Amino acid sequence: MKQYHDLLQHILNEGTDKGDRTGTGTRSVFGYQMRFNLQEGFPMVTTKKLHLKSIIHELLWFLTGDTNVKYLQDNGVRIWNEWANENGDLGPVYGHQWRNWNNEDIDQIKDIIHTLKNNPNSRRMMVSAWNPSVMPDTSVSFSENVANGKAALPPCHAFFQFYVSDNKLSCQLYQRSADVFLGVPFNIASYALFTMMMAQVCGFEYGDFIHTFGDVHIYSNHMEQVKLQLSREPRALPIMKMNPDIKDIFNFTFDDFTLENYDPYPAIKGAVAI
Ligand SMILES: Nc1nc(=O)c2c([nH]1)NC[C@@H]1CN(c3ccc(C(=O)N[C@@H](CCC(=O)O)C(=O)O)cc3)CN21
Ligand SMILES: O=c1ccn([C@H]2C[C@H](O)[C@@H](COP(=O)(O)O)O2)c(=O)[nH]1
């Protein structure tokens, strides 16, 4: 994962100090791109231990269209708790927009699969989680926004596009805002896995995952952690094995994934900016 270390180093070298919504403070750059060839291994950061269980359950949760944290909590995943209201609701966030865009019965995932199978040369294979009509009002709390039918947080991984050439499936994500120490390792692994799942169910080989960023930042309270991480030499990437019998994107379950040869350095704790 030289790509990830290069990004950390680029922000340290070239970033400017910038205030942010959470009041934490960041060092930030605007615009950056990384590319991962999914045939070269599974892009899971090795220089700190990642909680793969959270990544897989979060992705399966998005795919069901669920926006309540109960499923995550029942599976030991805590990463969305801070933003949910007392009933566990997050408002119309990712899963809702993917599967039922703007409450209009538009299933963007089903539509993309149909196009991938029938017209893979299409240049219109986009999924958008960005929906201006549910943007939260930042002057009120997360739960007040949810009560008003708004999303607790606007999507960070806002939209993505698929592309097929040489029978290989690639995916490019635009991430408008990125917490490089905590969020980005999750986001890379999640979209890499999603691309591989889509490739399997549509009958393609693995292509590239391309990760494009807007405001990409290191929070000021993650600087020591980032320096420790950069002092570690990246190790060989692990291999992700998926149950080859699954041919419907909505039928994957947690037990269909096995990560082999993941040999990370120890975890590095960091506080999440709320
Ligand atoms: N500031 C901020 N950064 C994010 O990455 C982020 C948000 N907010 N808000 C919404 C979601 C929630 N995400 C999160 C939230 C917490 C962790 C986190 O604490 N990760 C720890 C522990 C992981 C675990 O126990 O599963 C880590 O060390 O990776 C990661 C992603 C990604 N998003
Ligand atoms: O998947 C995710 C979700 C969130 N983040 C980060 C990016 C920002 O640091 C915060 C969101 O704050 P905004 O003020 O809405 O930009 O969460 C991430 O990196 N990955």
Sorted by where each begins, the domain ranges of the chain are 1-260
Fold (topology level) of 1-260: Thymidylate Synthase; Chain A (3.30.572)
Please give the pLDDT value at position 127. 98
Report yes or no for ipTM above 0.90: yes
Atom of ligand 2 nearest to the CA of 187: 1
Backbone angles phi, psi at 239, to 5 degrees: -120, 130
Please give the pLDDT value at position 201. 98
CB 1 within 8 A of CB 7: no
Tell me whether residue 217 is annotated as binding: yes
Please give the pLDDT value at position 163. 98
Please give the pLDDT value at position 253. 98
Q: How many CB atoms lie within 10 A of CB 119?
A: 11
Please give the pLDDT value at position 228. 98
Residue 6 CA, chain-centre distance (Å), reads 19
Is 202 one of the catalytic residues? no
- In the chain, which stretches have pLDDT less than 70? none
Task: Tell which one of 79, 179, 213 to mutate to probe ligand 2, the residue whose CB is within 8 A of the most ligand atoms.
Answer: 179
Please give the pLDDT value at position 20. 97
Q: Is 200 helix (H, G, I), strand (E, B) or coil?
A: helix
Cα–Cα distance measured from residue 56 to residue 178, given in angstroms and rounded to the nearest whole number: 19
Backbone angles phi, psi at 153, to 5 degrees: -130, 140
The owner of tokens 């927009």 is: 97
Q: Look at residues 182, 174, 90 and name the one whose alpha carbon lies nearest to residue 129.
A: 174
Task: Tell which one of 21, 130, 177, 221 to mutate to probe ligand 2, the residue whose CB is within 8 A of the most ligand atoms.
Answer: 177
What is the CA(270)–ligand 2 centre distance, in A? 15
Q: Look at residues 255, 249, 257, 189 and name the one whose alpha carbon lies nearest to residue 64.
A: 249
Cα–Cα distance measured from residue 47 to residue 70, given in angstroms and rounded to the nearest whole number: 31
Please give the pLDDT value at position 126. 97
Please give the pLDDT value at position 269. 98
Q: Is residue 187 in contact with ligand 2, taking CB distance under 6 Å?
A: yes
Tell me whether residue 219 is annotated as binding: yes
Please give the pLDDT value at position 133. 96
Q: Look at residues 29, 62, 74 and name the one whose alpha carbon lies nearest to residue 214.
A: 29
Please give the pLDDT value at position 77. 97
pTM for the whole structure: 0.97
